[in-house]
Structure 1
């Protein structure tokens, strides 16, 4: 290969890396959550517990029938905290703490789940 071809390929590769790195950083952005504004929500009914990479999700309804969605850590992280794919089941009653979405929608980033049997499942250290 000539000098100009090698230089052109190197520049094209560098441009591709630069173009793609922004989308990777955007995916892992946590700017949508109000970190430090921990809220507790009681009397939720689990509708669905999604144990998948890269993030877990809890979908639930409150006593007024409003739907809520809570993002969580990865299964790998949660398994080290004692969670499994069977930790939550549809119809189960729970309370939880979370960092709310900044835009006011029903949801946020899950911090801890409090089960009806009194057990507590943590995802993150509490801000309180």
Structure 2
């Protein structure tokens, strides 16, 4: 009985340790205000077609002439591909207008909605898909 208790304890510890990366990898869209929608227009800095979430970075000109970079989080490549998106849809220098759910704290990030391309094509956010997850404490990945 003493050996089985040790084995059970070791197995429980192993299960706990292997579950930690999965628990910390789960993200939430709670950082976004899902009751609000904004429109962001600008020039594509970077389009990261990646898993678990794609990111679109846009350089936006402010009325005072300064510029800021907005990071818009999209879904996984599989989810976006099912909606007709692909890695070649956008490239640096392209002009786009996007809808997004803004960050609750005023940071220049948002949950990506529709993207209107300069050629008239509209990439629609996947209707009915769960919102992509997001950000760890460090915020979105920065364009490299």
Aligned pair count reads 123
SS state at 1:89 partner: coil
Q: Contact conserved, 1:68 with 1:107, CA < 8 A, in 2?
A: yes
Q: How does 1:20-99 map to 2 (within 5 A)?
A: 20-25=21-26, 28-42=27-41, 44-64=42-62, 65-99=67-101
**1:100: how far off?**
0.4
TM-score (norm 2): 0.76
Change beyond 3 A, Cα 1:54–1:18: closer
Distance, in Å, in 1 between the alignment partners of 2:45 and 2:60 is: 10
Q: Contact conserved, 2:80 with 2:126, CA < 8 A, in 1?
A: no
Alpha carbon RMSD of aligned pairs, Å? 2.1
Unmatched tracts of structure 1, length 5 or more = none
Unmatched tracts of structure 2, length 5 or more = 129-144
What do the CA deviations read for 1:4-28 (whole angstroms, capped 9, x no partner)?
2222223313433564453133xx2
Distance, in Å, in 1 between the alignment partners of 2:25 and 2:34 is: 21
Q: Contact conserved, 2:95 with 2:117, CA < 8 A, in 1?
A: yes
Distance, in Å, in 2 between the alignment partners of 1:81 and 1:18 is: 32
Q: Does 1:12 align with 2:9?
A: no
Q: Contact conserved, 2:83 with 2:126, CA < 8 A, in 1?
A: no
Change beyond 3 A, Cα 1:49–1:13: same
Distance, in Å, in 2 between the alignment partners of 1:20 and 1:121 is: 33
**1:32: how far off?**
0.8
Q: Aligned to 1:114, which of 113, 116, 129?
A: 116
Greater shift in the superposed pair: 99-108 or 16-25 = 16-25
SS state at 2:9 partner: helix
Distance, in Å, in 1 between the alignment partners of 2:98 and 2:3 is: 62
